Structure 1
Amino acid sequence: MMEEFLSDKIKRIKPSGIRKFFEIANELDDVISLGVGEPDFDTPWHVRDEGIYSLQQGKTFYTANAGLMELRQEICQYIERKQEVHYDPKSEVVVTIGGSEAIDIALRAMLNPGDEVIYTEPCYVSYLPCIVLSDGVPVAIPLKASNQFRLTAQELEEAITPKTKVVILSFPNNPTGAVMSRKDLEAISEVIKRHNLVVISDEIYSELTYSEERHVSIVEIDGMRERTVLINGFSKAFAMTGWRMGYALAPHILMQQMIKIHQFTIMAAPTTSQYAGIDALRNCDEDVSEMRESYNQRRRYLLKEMERLGLPCFEPFGAFYIFPNISEFGMTSEEFASRLIQEERVAVVPGNAFGDCGEGFVRISYAYSLSSLKKALERLERFIVRLRQEQEDTK
């Protein structure tokens, strides 16, 4: 009965490949899940306490559509402290329901039917559906492990057409952990400015970088602040996934339109979360530093284990994922992940969930305790030894 009433556009969108394996893991016993990108740390207690205190004080009413002014001021001060770029808290920032809503309203505020949006793959699973839902035309640039999954100016130049309007960047990257240096960003910025394009820069993992060079935002590059929507949030850096809060910063004329969509679809982000967010931005530097060091320890451990197991894996310097190559086993990424969870009760995400060029890879999250990672690696080793033995037996 209802089939005839469904949107053709929605029916064509595939469900998330991440959630598929998350649901399988929930149905099985004794599964070690290395699939979901969620910190295993609790939200710092002082942040939770601020949320609780706001409830005790009866601060349970709607805030301004764009968010509490005090929070917007803290966001702008945070960005100025980290990136040395100034934004006006009154007119250039909106507090959203996670970073995903910020991506959605930015695209909807800019796209007309037929406008092309360039994005890189492998990438976060929401970009392609959000472009389609906004009536844009997705144009994927497949990145290469041989170049550490970085975007080059030449690759960007070759993808641009007269219909190109927006470029989505996501560094540090999910799922690869790739980062872009200042030199990399300067090169692609020249292309973007020459073709008069707009950038959506998703920097949700900006605090989780492990190289000697600090995270560089594209808004720091000359001429890019005025043509960029900068997206960030609280989920990854502050271990606040369930609080559902992100934010976007953009020039006033664009932000007006983004807030218009936000006010009609969301109204405002949760009040309790916003008060907690104020404390996170003010007082979490030490907490973030401790979490980052723990992630880095796990990152180094997994890279050594991949080398020991003979799985090719470039060294990621951001986020909390590694992206090893499993193509030697002659099966698809989905087949590898399916057999691994069924035979050894370890959940990873097949690389093709993040785009076609992710085929031959799997994403392993290290947002889990070192003890869980060690137990999972024991099971992964058994699985790999068995696969290699199967290959020998068939020769």
Structure 2
Amino acid sequence: MLNSKNIVVGVSGGIAAYKACDIVSRLKKLNANVKVIMTKSAAEFVTPLTFQSLSQNFVVVDMFDELKTWDVEHISLAQWADLFLIAPATANIIGKISNGIADDMLSTTVMATKAQVLIAPAMNTNMYENKIVQNNISKLSQLGFKFVEPESGRLACGDIGKGKLASPEAIVEQVSSILTLEQDLTDKNILITAGPTIENIDPVRYITNRSSGKMGYSIARKAIERGANVTLISGKTSLDIPNGVSEFIQVESAKQMYEAVVDNLDKNDIIIKSAAVADYKPKNISDIKIKKSDDDLIIELDRNKDILKEIGKIKKDKILVGFAAETNDLIQNAKKKIEKKNLDFIVANDLTQEGAGFGVDTNIVKIIDKNGNIQEYPKMKKYELSNVILDRVKMLSK
């Protein structure tokens, strides 16, 4: 998969340095050429010999080590790399790169490379959430550096929170995506909706659905990786905003989502509506909490605007993609939506199938176009399905 791809792995000084061994091993199994640069602090956690054995290449730690080749080492490594991965990346190395400091082999080589740099942070939760660190990450994201978000969980220090190095599998997946995906959507402006909407009943209660937003956020990430300018309009989720998104708009209700879509319609060529929008809203919203009584509570509902249908009326030459999550009559219901809402194609899934639908990392779908052609796909990760959807969009946009 990564035949002949050259990857420099930078390992900085944190307890998660041991996980970089697994990352290097996985990259080698994908037939990548790997060279490792370690900071002196990293060498306190894992020996250079370990990485040398796994990568089958000399490991560089000190700028003033005896040269293994006649090249100026930091320049030759910088030029050699197709991709530069830093894992784990401490707050220290992120701060150095963000501020242009080059005082060791790792930071110096990053400054000299023109390859894509992918950074996988790992640190204490309070450090990761520190405004200085977040500003440094934001600055680097704007400069084109890519990040693999850390995970939440129990940290080495005993704290519980966000800051764990992403899994080696997730990091290698992102490396593979960057190195194998073409930048084929660089001239496209894509609007993506994601997540659930909520409709208030009173200040305490509301109506919503089970959407996690994972599908829409995955499409947004893959579109960004492929060079698109992405506007992401999202209901409330627990997901991190994808790095590199051009504009992120947080909404709650279906009305707010409709208004945000309409406001951003003109500047986008492609609209992918993966959000699960509430069809109905309470006719009357109480300003105070509705108290429990001995009587049944009856809530009268009004129809919300059908965002897809409304956009379908005015889309002109824009590409419009919809989603259909059904529990019965999947094909018939999906085809009705295509015709009724003037869609170019629809992504339909049966919620009764295990591994499909809300809250999981996989999906099982049928893609149906406006001519009635149906393509079935087996269960796959949502990030894989995202590329399938974007490939379809690309074909239509030629």
Would you say same fold, with TM above 0.5? Answer: no
The structure that is strand-richer by fraction is 2
Larger relative CO (CA 8 A, sep 6+): 1 or 2?
1
Alignment TM-score, normalising by the size of structure 2: 0.28
**Greater CA radius of gyration, 1 or 2?**
2
